[in-house]
Each structure stands twice: as C-alpha cells, then as structure tokens.
C-alpha cells in the first residue's frame, strides 16, 4: 500500500491544530510515526540527536526539529519549559544492546533506563499540565512485544520494556480524564534495529542472516516484516480524537507472532 499517498488511511485534517512531540524521530518507527502524524495534519516537533533531515520530508508546514539527548534530564526539562502547547507525546528511543541478561552489570542498566523510563516520566510530567489546559492529550509509548513474551538474547531490553509498560498502566489510572496513555508493541519490523539484532545473533551463533530472518518469519502468520508505516498508522490512530475510549492498553503490531492472548 501507498501509506502516505492515495492509500493514506486517515483524513489529512484529522489532527489539524494539534502539536505532536515525537521522540526518536530520525529513523525507523519514530520517523514513520512523525510522517503519519504530519500527514494527518499535526504540527510535529521531531526530537532526536539528528532530526533535521526528517522535518524537511514531512507533509505540511510548521514542523520543527529539536536535537536532544534523552539521557540528559536537565536538557529535557529545559525543552519542555520552552514549548507553549502539546497535544500528543510519542515516547520512543533506541533500545539497549542484545545479549544474555546475566552478562549485564548494574551500570549497563543506567543509560537505557535514563533515555526510556526516566526521559518519558520527565516528559509526561512536563506536558500533562499543557494537555489538561487544552482539554485533550494523547501519550503513546513505543515499546516491545517482550512486555508479554520476553524475547531471547535481549534480557536488558525485556526488563526495560516491562518497566515502561507497568509505568504506563499505572499512569492510565492517574492521568486527567482528557488524557490517554497507551503502548504500541512492535513485532519484527523492517528497521535498522532489527538488522543490528540479526547481526548480533549472527556473531554469537554463526547462523547466516538469511537463516535468522527465516526463523523469525516462520513465527509470523503474515509471513513478512512489518512496514514501519504500518506501526506508525496504529500509533496515529491512538492519537486521534476518536480514540479517547482507549486507555492503558498495549497494542501489538506484530503480524500475529505472539501466541499469548
């Protein structure tokens, strides 16, 4: 499908007048989400270490790029204080390296938790008053199917994603009525992150990249990788005014890979 062309699934004015902050927006699912939100009419602030190139490719006008280190709490707080309004917040950041959990030291947990859980918490605390004042807010966290079924060889990521899911579920009971928070759980998606994971497995096991991909696809009923724009479409829907009844859920976009209900 031409997800951003004639087959675009939403009205191009569905999010008109909304300001969306998209973290980790330079590539992968973050970039795809920014494109979907912009196509639907939102003004996007793309947050990453290098977001300028993405902003130039977005539909519409008024988009901005912010270079921000999500491991720096002071910079995050300064950024949030500089914005006048926010209706949509997409929490997304690069995942930690793969490997057995017992190979990780306590120090290995620090940076991933800073750029995921700590950054997301600071951002949410900063934008909730702005969302409440506007009468509408949507928060979506891009995490992983590992919150339901831990994935072998990425123990640190599994731990982190589970913490994010529990954090979001707790907030879903505390946030003002006009603000929703939900999680999207990507499956095997055609991104650089998946390529890095395949390379890591190749180095550790000697299996070829084709063999690794074949093993993955044997688990996916649709028999292919997910297009990042498909995941972006699910995220965009959760940001629509019509999605206000969806709160505190973890939505898998995994082609049916998970066996759990």
Q: Which residue has the higher pLDDT, 197 or 182?
A: 182
Cβ neighbours of residue 83 under 8 Å, at least 6 residues apart? Answer: 19, 21, 45, 130
Give the Å distances, CA to CA, from 97 to 104, 153, 197, 204: 10, 10, 8, 13
Give me the mean pLDDT over the 138-157 stretch.
Answer: 94
Q: Is 2 left (phi over 0), alpha (psi -120 to 50) or beta?
A: beta
Domains of the chain and CATH, by start: 19-187+226-253 (3.40.50.720)
CB 74 within 8 A of CB 92: no
Give me the mean pLDDT over the 147-172 stretch.
Answer: 95
Percentage, residues of the chain above pLDDT 70: 100
Residue 8 has pLDDT above 90, yes or no: yes
Give me the mean pLDDT over the 112-141 stretch.
Answer: 98
CA distance 123 to 143: 16
- The predicted model scores a pTM of 0.94
Cβ neighbours of residue 163 under 8 Å, at least 6 residues apart? Answer: 113, 117
Give the Å distances, CA to CA, from 207 to 20, 89, 161: 41, 39, 27
Give me the mean pLDDT over the 57-66 stretch.
Answer: 93
């Amino acid at each position: 499908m031409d997800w951003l062309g004639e087959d675009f699934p939403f009205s191009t004015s569905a999010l008109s007048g909304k300001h969306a902050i998209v973290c980790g927006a330079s590539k992968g699912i973050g970039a795809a989400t920014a494109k979907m939100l912009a196509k639907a009419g939102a003004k996007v602030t793309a947050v990453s270490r290098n977001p300028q190139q993405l902003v130039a490719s977005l539909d519409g006008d008024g988009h901005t790029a912010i270079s921000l280190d999500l491991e720096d709490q002071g910079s995050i707080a300064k950024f949030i204080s500089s914005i006048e309004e926010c209706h949509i917040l997409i929490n997304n950041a690069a995942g930690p390296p793969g490997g057995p959990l017992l190979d990780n030291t306590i120090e290995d947990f620090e940076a991933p938790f800073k750029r995921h859980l700590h950054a997301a918490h600071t951002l949410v605390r900063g934008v909730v008053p702005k969302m409440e004042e506007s009468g509408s807010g949507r928060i979506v966290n891009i995490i992983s199917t590992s919150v339901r079924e831990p994935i072998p060889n990425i123990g640190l990521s599994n731990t982190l994603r589970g913490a994010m899911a529990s954090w979001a579920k707790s907030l879903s009971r505390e946030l003002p009525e006009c603000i929703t928070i939900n999680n999207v759980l990507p499956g095997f998606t055609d991104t650089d992150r998946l390529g890095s994971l395949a390379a890591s497995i190749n180095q550790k096991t000697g299996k070829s990249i084709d063999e690794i991909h074949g093993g993955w696809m044997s688990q996916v009923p649709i028999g292919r990788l997910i297009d990042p724009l498909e995941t972006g479409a699910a995220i965009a829907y959760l940001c629509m005014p019509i999605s206000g009844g969806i709160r505190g859920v973890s939505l898998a976009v995994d082609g049916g890979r998970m066996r759990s209900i």
